Structure formats: C-alpha cells, structure tokens
Structure 1
Amino acid sequence: MTDTDAGTGTRGTTTAVPLPEGYSPRLYNEDLAPATERKWGAFSIFNVWTSDVHSLFGYFLAASLFLVAGNTFKFLIGIGVGSLIIYWLMTLIGNAGVKTGVPYPVLARASFGTFGANVPALVRAVVATFWYGAQTSAAAGAIVAFLIRYDGPKNLHETTTLLDHTGLEVICYLFVWAAQLLIISKGMETVRRFQDFAGPAVWLMMLILAVGLSVKAGTLSFSVDMPAADLAALAKTATGLDVTPGSFAAIAAIAATWVTYFAALFLNFGDFARFTPDEKTLRKGNVWGLPVNLILFSLVAALTTASASKVYGEVILEPAAISAKFDSAFLVLLAALTFAVATLGINVVANFVSPAFDFANVAPKHITFRRGGLIAAVIALLLYPLHPWDNAPSFVNAIGSTMGPIFGVLVVDYYLLRKARLNIPALYKEDGEFRFQGGWNIRAFVAAGIGAVFSSILPVYGPEAYGATLGPYSWFIGVAVAGVIYFAVSGAKSPLAGKPTN
C-alpha cells in the first residue's frame, strides 16, 4: 500500500496523481481531494457514534452526570435535550461534508482563507492528540486492571517505575498505541470495517456489565443511596459542576456539558460524512447513532453505576474499576479487551482521522493522511510521561472555549453567507476566491478571537445562569459571539451566495 491510498483505502495507484489544472501543490493532495467513492452507509455512520461514545471517558462522563441529575428521570431529560442538540448540529455540519465532499481543514479554507485554515485545523489537531493519549492510557489501564490479578504482572506493576508510570503501565500503553497504528495505517476503509465491529462489541459488553451487576444487586436500581450533601460533593469532584443535584441548573448543565463533550467532532464530522452517498443516509445513521444511541447508552451507564454502588458499597465511576472486581477472571479479561477495543474505536474516529487530515493540510505535498496520523501518534507518545489528561473532566469545558468560536465562524460562513453553495475548485487554488488577505481571512480570525475571549472570561467572571456559573456554557458562548461578529463584519451576503456548488 502506498501513501496515496491511505486516505480512503480505495485508491490503489502506485504512481503519483497529477494535480488538476490550476490546483496548488501547497493546497492539494489525493487525501484532501473531494471524496469520489462513497461507501459509508447508515450503519457505518451509526458506528461512528458507537465508537465515539462507547469509551471509558464517555462512560465516566455519563456516570458522573447521573450523579449531578439526582435521579434517573431528570438525568434522561438533561441527556435527551443534549442529545437532540448534538444530532441537529452534527447533521448540520455533516450535510456540508456530504455536499462538498471535502474534509474539515479544506472546508475551513472558505471562511479562514486558503492558508489561514491551518490555524483552526491545528487547534483541532492539538485537541485530538490530547485525547488520543488520554484514551490510549485509559485502554492500557483496563488491561493493567486484568493483569494485576496474577503475581508476575502484579510484581512488575508494584516494583518498577518508568517515565512516571509503572513498568506494566508502560508496556500496556505501548501495546495499545502500536495496535492503533496497525489499524489506521490501512486507511479509511479499514477504519470503517473496524468501527463496524467495535461499536456493537462494546454495546454487548456494557449490557453484560449492567445485567450482571443488577442480578448481583438483586434488583434493577437507578438510584445511588447517599446523603444529599455527599452526593453533591462527589458530583462536583467528578464533573467540576457546582450545582445542586436535581435542580433545574443541574439539568441544564448536564445538557450543556453533554453537548460540549462533542465540541471537537462538531468541527470535523464532515471527515466521515463526506463518504456517505446522500443526506438521507447521513440523517438515518445520525438518528440511530445520536439521540437513540446516546440516551440508551447513558441509561445503561446509570444502571451500572447505581447497581455497582449497591453491590460494592461505593460509587465507582470507571467501568474498568468495576469489572476488575469481578470474581471471574474470564469476565475481567472480556471486559478489559472490550474496553480496549472501545478505546481503539474512539481514537480511530475522533482522535486520529482528524489530525491526520489536519496535519496533511499544513503541507499536502509532503504529509499524507497516513503520515499526518503518525505525527499525531508520536506526539501522544511523547506526552505520555507528562500525562496531561489526568484532569480530563475539566478539559471538556476548556476545549469549548476554543472549539466554539471556530464552529460559529464555519457555520455562519457556509450556511448564512454562502447559502450552502461553495466553489470547490477555488479551495485548492492560491489565487482563487478564498485568498482574502494573502491566504488569510482577517475577519474570521477577529471574530473567532473575540469569541474565544468571551467564552473564556464569561464562564469565570460572568453572571450566573439558572442559578449556576456559566462554566458549562463556554462552547455556546463562543459559537454565539464569534458567529454574530463574523456575520456583522462580513456583510449580510457573500459574493458566492447563489452560485452552485461545483
């Protein structure tokens, strides 16, 4: 396999593909070109979301928000509202991917400029790289939890230290890290096939975990028996949300936090949607993969958390820690392998594909999809000794302050200014319509910059909303402020509005 076929997994040429007339080698390679073969059906789009959500961090966040809700009914309201918002936003950006066929960094050229788009692309790549390392570490932890049941690995775990981790942790991290590269090096078609397996596998394991704990508890339980004050303290520690569990502020914060968790994928979901044949297929996959799947997954997380608290007498928010308590070594091994597969799934979907395209966009002549992904993987490996992801829950809201403004500019530019009509060939030309000021659209950067300032400052120093701080709403603030400013400074109508998509 050559680097040229790594992007889609469908091109098998061994010779260089000539540039289309007028296209710049600084803006084009085969991986960044509009998608031509579209094999991703509704089931594959559904599994984008099962792979993205059914991870250790996804479970941890859902279980933590369950504590914030106070009871299952309020939890489902918050998660339900958030899931519907996510569905609408993902379909919005997904339709742009279907219609244009281009990946996120190329679409960003229309609003940020042919070379200015490298900035939002690299911002997204940095976030993805952070999560790549975090998810790899979580998967390694699930394997460690199984291995320390045995004397040899347990002794290695307790007696060796390397890179601020135990020797066993380092070995497991390197194993998971290498396994991901093996999958991803085969290209996007292999990614699709892997996630079509990973998504259902994780669902099956989650159900086994929930049913097994419910049987052990002797009842179907959706409540955690804990004094209100202790519950509030635990919920705040787990999520950083300073709200009274069960209050209106808590329900609103649950919905907002759930939406913000997907902030990065709001930008680059088009990387996957562009491989679907039409918008109808996309919507079908999104309906089942987002509101339906998200709500059911969250319900299973709530059931598992509540049942585990009754069985073990403590609230455990990490599924790997729950499964490690099982008496059966087979079940612990099955859980460890499943959680590892789940993490591979989300890393492939959310944390590899995006930086692979984003880094390729910086230097298309030299960086292909596969090389871009390798860069992300190497950075995640270098970050491992620092383990910056230890405070991941707080990071969820932090990324909202950077992702929101970029999303606001993109959506306003594509839908409100350009009326969903884009001159695709011009995206690959240095002197085309998206040159702006030397390849940079200063208006977009001003709008996004001001939006980032507001979304960073208001949650800390701003007024309260619904009886709580604005912390959970940083992403929404960034979208609104940047979008309004960009629309105002760009004029009510783009020169391209009314022209057909090429």
Structure 2
Amino acid sequence: MKTQVEQNGIVTLTPEAAESLKDSHMLNEDLRPTTREEHHWTAYNFSSLWIGMCICIPTYTMSSGLIALGMNWWQAIVTIILGNLIVLIPVLLNSHAGAKFGIPYPVFARLWFGSKGAHIPAVARALVAAAWFGINCWYGGAAIDTLLVSMSGWEHVSGHIFIAFFAFWALNVIVAYRGPEAIRKMEFWAAPILIVLGLALLVWALVSAGGFGPMLSAPSKFSTSGQFFAIFFPSLTGVIAFWATLALNIPDFGRYAKSQKAQIVGQSIALPGTMGLFAFIGVAVTSATVVIFGQAIWDPAALMAHFPPFVILIGTFGIILAALTTNVAANVVAPARAAENLWPRKITFAGGAIITGLLSLAMQPWYLVGDIANYIFVFLGGYGALLGPIDGIAIADYWLVRQRKLSLTELYSPNGRYSYASGFNMKSIYAFAAGILISVIGLVVPGLHFLWDNAWTIGLLVSGCIYGYLMRDDASRMSDAEYAEITVQMDTSAAAEDTAGQMIKQNPENV
C-alpha cells in the first residue's frame, strides 16, 4: 500500500497513512511529519532565522576571545568565517532530511539510533542547548541590569543582577512557550532591526574614534607559524562547535521549507555572512573604545554604561532582542523536542520549553562564561567532541546508508524497521563511542593532543566512517523497489497536481 507522496522533492503522508498513525504512542502534534501546507518557509525565513540567531552577545564577544588568545583582528575574523563555512556543510546536509520528509530532529534520530536509542543524541543536544539558553539569559539580564543602574539606585538592591537575570529568563520561557510558528514570526521582523542596530553601533564607533582605532592595526602576538596553529586549530573547533548544535537539530526548522532551494539559499547566505559581519562589528567597536574611553570594552552591557539613559534604553532593547531571538530559536526547540520524544503523549512543546528553562538554571551560566579560555577550549571544545560524532552518524546514515530513502510510517512504529534490537541500534552506539574515545585519547596523551584540538572534525569523520561500514548491509536499509512500493511519485505540473490531489482525497485506500 502507498503510504507517502513525493512531489517536487517533498514527501508527505497519504491521508490514510496519517489516520493510521493517530493512536501511535510515538507521535504527537509536534513530532508528526509536516503536511504539504506546512512547507511554507521561504529563503527569507531561513535567512532571518540565522540573522536572528547569529546576532547575539556570544558572537560579538567570540572575536574578543580569539584576540585575547593572541590573534590579530583579521586572523580572528577569518577563523570565525572559516569555521562557519565548515559547519554550514552538515547544516545543509541534515536540513535536507528535514525538508524532504518533514520530520523533527528526535524522529530523524530514530533512523540511526533506533526508536528508543534516539533519546541518546536528543538528550545530548538538549543538554548543550540548555547551557546556551542560560548563557544568553545571563547576557540579556546583564543588559537589563545596566539599564536599571543608569536610571536609579538599582545598584544598591541586593543581588540586583540576578533579579534582572531571572526576569529575562522568565521572558524567554514565556516566548518559547508559544511554539515554533511564533518564533518564525518574531525572527521575520527582528532580523532587519538587529542589522540596523548593529550597523548603527559600527557607525558610532567610526565617527567617535575618528577611524577604527589601534586594535585593527595591532599585530598578531605569534612569532612563528607553530605558535599560531597551536591556537588556531582548537579555536577553529570552538567556532565550529558554536553552531554544531544547530547542525544536528536543523531538521526542526528544515521540515517547514517550501523547497530544498529555499533552505539552501537562505542558510548559505545568512550563516557565514552574519557571523563574519557581527564578529567584525564586535572587533571594530571594541577597538574604537580604546580611543574613546582609554580601555578595551568587549561587553556591550558594560559599554552601554558610558551612554546617556535614552541611548542605554535603545541599546538594552537591542541586546534583549538579540538574546531573545537567539535563545528561543537555537536553544529551546531542540531540548523541548527531546522532552516531547521522551513521552510524546504527555509532554507538549510548551512543557518542554519550561523543562529547558529549569535545566538551564542547573547549568549555572554565570560560571560557564567566567573565563574566556575555559569558554572556548573547555565548553565549546568539549561539546564539539560530543556532537561531532553524532553529526557524522546522521550524515552517513541519510546520505550513504539510506541514500535519502525511508518510510515515514515506520518511524512511528515501535516494531518497525527502525526499531532494531529492542529499540536500540547498537551499531550507531559503537560508532558514537569510538568517535568520542579517539578525541579523549588526544586529551590525555600529550603527543596526540591534535585529536582533541580538532575533536568535532575528527569525531565526525571517525564515527561517520565506522557507522557507514557497520550499516552497509543492514536490514533497515530500503531498496529502490521498496521505496517505490510505498511512495506515490506525483507529476509536478499544476493540472496533474490537482488531479492527483483529488484522487488521494477521494480514494485514499487505493493510493
């Protein structure tokens, strides 16, 4: 029986198949495949999504961390752009699966880890997202605190910065509670506002300092290539890891794509372009503060304290909007979906958003950002070692093992082809463990430290290759004939589309 329809590269369930899944305990309203009507995100929607996520305080201050480690301004910016061009590859490869089959990340993970084993990559991604959620709330809370200090005796209130932090944390949870479609609408109008505010800050710096300032003319602190590369490679891994999170759960957004072209064009322009531009704004503005105020001020919240209250108000709005757009899109969707996947019939996306907020508090974000070296090498590098292997497995499974052919209905069956042994695909678990292990070896064996310095890349390649080899003859793979047996291939012409659509609606049992 035909259970799915493929049209213009987008696969959706037939009405009969969708009806048959209504009672599955592995499905709820948020985890089901998207319908044809829900594939409505354009290239602009994907661009605005990334602009909203990339324009945030961690992006602004990332370049500061690289300069503090010894790079000059252009070395820092090139490292950031290169890292984002690299991570763009898995972003597009994994987004393809979401766009074609309309499935969210936890369901996508069932393909490679099994119906129960999917909780492993889903929870791993969720923990990292919760940490980022807390970090962005901390930055946003600091901006609110600066505004209140400038306008009153707020600084005399005991624990004032934590009060501001919890207030902003609550705002994030409330917005996230409204769901992914509300996030799309917010990103749509927030993106141009954030770009204007960022460029306005750059213009102020140029005019006030009479140029870019001394930092852009400061030389690199490295005297040899060896010294530079000793910092460059772990820094590059940290930059890649910055968005290695979204490289995994990008199907959560790709599933709404109008077409593959829409998601490819929108993401390819916005991700590396926005990260490079905003990181440069961070470097240029900070360079100007050396001329204007006599010291380098990397923290935008601290920089605002030097302005009149009205400017602080506008700046606070910009920081809050930047932190909010990043948080609710990049750091809530994945853990909320992971929570739903644990108990689809009981936990909704709204409930998952609340769980994310609570988990972020347990991460104590004020400690995570306390030291820039620990932030780049330990936090970013550490979760790069965790997520790189999962990225490798996901890419190898969809592109090499399954060759972009799968059965939607069996993803929601506890006893289907993707359940493996008792719900766990041990081959993916072995590959995942191997990818992490080889990076850890680099951490503990001095002569092999380059393995840890490039943990995300090494883990991706090792786990991907091992998984591809182990799965080469797996029974869960679908042949061309099996895929054709369950899939209606629809003509792309308008007339044929109308005719086929009516046929499916009127006679679903014969499709």
Q: Confirm or deny: 8 A CA contact 1:419 1:497 kept in the other structure.
A: no
Cα drift, residue 213 of structure 1:
1.8
**Matches of 2:164 and 2:421 in 1, distance apart?**
48
Cα drift, residue 255 of structure 1:
3.6
Matched, 1:193 2:193: no
Per the alignment, in what secondary structure is the counterpart of residue 20 of structure 2? coil
Match of 2:13 in 1: none
Matched, 1:447 2:435: no
Matched, 1:431 2:415: yes
Alpha carbons of structure 1 residues 438 and 222: separation in structure 2 relative to 1, 3 Å: farther
Greater shift, 332-341 or 199-208, is seen at: 199-208
Greater shift, 172-181 or 267-276, is seen at: 172-181
**Matches of 1:321 and 1:463 in 2, distance apart?**
41
Greater shift, 62-71 or 96-105, is seen at: 62-71
**Matches of 1:309 and 1:374 in 2, distance apart?**
42
Cα drift, residue 308 of structure 1:
1.9
**Matches of 2:365 and 2:391 in 1, distance apart?**
32
Q: Which amino acid aligns with 1:201?
A: I
- 1:171 equivalent among 163, 168, 171: 163
Cα drift, residue 70 of structure 1:
3.4
Q: Which amino acid aligns with 2:301?
A: A
Match of 2:336 in 1: 356
Alpha carbons of structure 1 residues 497 and 59: separation in structure 2 relative to 1, 3 Å: farther
Match of 1:287 in 2: 268
**Matches of 1:78 and 1:93 in 2, distance apart?**
23
**Correspondence 1:155-234 to 2 at 5 A:** 155-156=156-157, 160=158, 166=159, 168-221=160-213, 223=215
Structure with greater Cα Rg: 2
Alpha carbons of structure 1 residues 253 and 170: separation in structure 2 relative to 1, 3 Å: closer
Q: How many residues align?
A: 461
Q: Deviation digits for residues 255-287 of structure 1, max 9, x if unmatched?
A: 433212111111101101111111111112112
Q: Confirm or deny: 8 A CA contact 2:134 2:365 kept in the other structure.
A: no
**Matches of 1:92 and 1:213 in 2, distance apart?**
39
Match of 1:13 in 2: none
Match of 1:34 in 2: 33
Q: Which runs of 5+ in 2 are unaligned?
A: 1-16, 488-511
**Matches of 1:386 and 1:90 in 2, distance apart?**
29
Match of 1:74 in 2: 75
Q: Confirm or deny: 8 A CA contact 1:68 1:244 kept in the other structure.
A: no
**Matches of 2:206 and 2:445 in 1, distance apart?**
44
Match of 2:505 in 1: none
**Matches of 2:234 and 2:468 in 1, distance apart?**
28
TM-score of the aligned structures, taking structure 1 as reference length:
0.85
Match of 1:488 in 2: 469
**Matches of 2:391 and 2:219 in 1, distance apart?**
41
Q: Confirm or deny: 8 A CA contact 1:96 1:270 kept in the other structure.
A: yes
Alpha carbons of structure 1 residues 454 and 110: separation in structure 2 relative to 1, 3 Å: same
**Matches of 1:72 and 1:385 in 2, distance apart?**
27
Per the alignment, in what secondary structure is the counterpart of residue 439 of structure 2? helix
**Matches of 1:228 and 1:83 in 2, distance apart?**
22
Match of 2:84 in 1: 83
Match of 2:501 in 1: none
Match of 2:14 in 1: none
**Matches of 2:195 and 2:435 in 1, distance apart?**
38
**Matches of 1:325 and 1:385 in 2, distance apart?**
26
**Correspondence 1:60-459 to 2 at 5 A:** 60-68=61-69, 70-156=71-157, 160=158, 166=159, 168-221=160-213, 223=215, 247-326=228-307, 328-384=308-364, 387-388=367-368, 390-391=370-371, 392-393=375-376, 394-459=378-443
Per the alignment, in what secondary structure is the counterpart of residue 439 of structure 1? coil
Cα drift, residue 115 of structure 1:
0.8
Q: Which amino acid aligns with 2:272?
A: P
Q: Which runs of 5+ in 1 are unaligned?
A: 1-17, 161-165, 233-241
Cα drift, residue 389 of structure 1:
5.1
**Matches of 2:339 and 2:47 in 1, distance apart?**
26
Q: Confirm or deny: 8 A CA contact 1:25 1:365 kept in the other structure.
A: no
Q: Which amino acid aligns with 1:269?
A: I
CA RMSD of aligned residues (A): 2.7
**Matches of 1:25 and 1:381 in 2, distance apart?**
34
Per the alignment, in what secondary structure is the counterpart of residue 173 of structure 1? helix
Cα drift, residue 366 of structure 1:
0.5
Q: Alignment identity in percent? A: 29
**Matches of 1:19 and 1:425 in 2, distance apart?**
8
Match of 1:12 in 2: none
Q: Which amino acid aligns with 1:88?
A: I
Q: Which amino acid aligns with 1:123?
A: A
**Matches of 1:206 and 1:385 in 2, distance apart?**
25
Alpha carbons of structure 1 residues 423 and 46: separation in structure 2 relative to 1, 3 Å: same
Cα drift, residue 26 of structure 1:
3.0
Q: Confirm or deny: 8 A CA contact 1:273 1:282 kept in the other structure.
A: yes
**Matches of 1:254 and 1:401 in 2, distance apart?**
13
Q: Deviation digits for residues 452-474 of structure 1, max 9, x if unmatched?
A: 12123314525468xxx454411
**Matches of 1:76 and 1:211 in 2, distance apart?**
19
Alpha carbons of structure 1 residues 492 and 372: separation in structure 2 relative to 1, 3 Å: same
Alpha carbons of structure 1 residues 137 and 79: separation in structure 2 relative to 1, 3 Å: closer
Q: Which amino acid aligns with 1:264?
A: T
Alpha carbons of structure 1 residues 319 and 370: separation in structure 2 relative to 1, 3 Å: same
Cα drift, residue 254 of structure 1:
4.4
Cα drift, residue 103 of structure 1:
0.5
Match of 1:4 in 2: none
Q: Confirm or deny: 8 A CA contact 2:237 2:381 kept in the other structure.
A: no
**Matches of 2:200 and 2:418 in 1, distance apart?**
52
Q: Confirm or deny: 8 A CA contact 2:130 2:363 kept in the other structure.
A: no
Alpha carbons of structure 1 residues 319 and 483: separation in structure 2 relative to 1, 3 Å: same
Alpha carbons of structure 1 residues 383 and 65: separation in structure 2 relative to 1, 3 Å: closer
Greater shift, 291-300 or 472-481, is seen at: 291-300
Q: Confirm or deny: 8 A CA contact 1:101 1:274 kept in the other structure.
A: yes
Greater shift, 61-70 or 317-326, is seen at: 61-70
Per the alignment, in what secondary structure is the counterpart of residue 435 of structure 1? coil
